[in-house]
Amino acid sequence: MSASTDLACYAGRWLQVFYRPGKAFADLEKGQSSAEWMLVLILVMSVVLCAGIVTIPVALDRERALIETEFRSYSDLSADQQSGILREAVKFDHRQLIGLLVMPASVCFMVFAWSVVGKHCGELIFGKLLPYGKVLPIAGYASLVLVPETIVKTSLVLLSGSLDPPIHPGWFLDDADPETLWSLFLSGVDFFGIWFLFLLGLGLAQTFRGSARLTWLALGLVWGMWIVIRRTFELLGTVYV
């Protein structure tokens, strides 16, 4: 097939991930290629990078607002000094550049990390060995969820001005109990993360020829432990810093 025919075939399969994931993973298992899942990775990384570029003004505005708030504690600074500090703070420099580069790099890390988790969970549950060459494309396909996630979150960032818009069950909890253990946990359970685990578990179960429910349970336990650990460290950081 020509390159254009290959891309059309790939694009059709990528779209099926959102409305016929079982068919998409079945087709992937029959005729997968390293080029295809690498293209998926490039696509997702590009979307995430573009979102980072678009939201830079929001990040700079937020940094400016934080510095202006801190100025209230430093009454000895003159107006010229404050103006100079603010000018430097809202400039695009190496800090923002590093932040932009970290965003697509984090996509690679996520795909490879969940490939490792998925491979070993599947092998532990079903007692079958599976090479990474079979698992990486599945994680790559599941990562396509980051495309609608990035679009939705970027839209919310631009509309609300918040860099961390709530897209989790904790958003529906009563504001009177924001510090309970349950609410802290739920705030880490991202809806798009659930979608990602659903797709990853479905693809792994199909490839391992095993139970999707067992796969989802294993992945969910790993994800739940990660949420607890991450939220605990975030909470400790707010207490001791």
What phi-psi label fits residue 164: left (phi over 0), alpha (psi between -120 and 50 degrees) or beta?
A: beta
What phi-psi label fits residue 209: left (phi over 0), alpha (psi between -120 and 50 degrees) or beta?
A: left
HSE on the CB side for 66, CA within 13 Å?
9
Helix (H, G, I), strand (E, B) or coil at 101: helix
* Residue 240 banded pLDDT, cuts 50, 70, 90: very low
More confident residue, 120 or 61: 120
pLDDT in tens, 53-73: 998 888 877 777 777 666 666
Tokens 């079958």 map to which residue?
128
* Segment among 57-71, 142-156, 164-178 with least mean pLDDT: 164-178
Exposure string (b/e) for 153-169, b if CB count within 10 Å is 16 or more?
Answer: bbebbeeeeeeebebbb
Task: Report the mean per-residue pLDDT for the chain.
Answer: 80
**% pLDDT > 70, the chain:** 71
Average pLDDT over residues 139-158: 92
Range 13-18, long-range pairs (CB < 8 A, 24+ positions)? 14/40, 14/43, 14/141, 14/144, 17/141, 17/142, 17/144, 17/199, 18/144, 18/148
pLDDT in tens, 175-204: 444 455 555 666 667 889 899 999 999 999
* Residue 134 banded pLDDT, cuts 50, 70, 90: confident
How far apart CA 23 and CA 16 sit, in angstroms, is 7
The pLDDT score that the predictor gives to residue 142 is 94
The pLDDT score that the predictor gives to residue 99 is 81
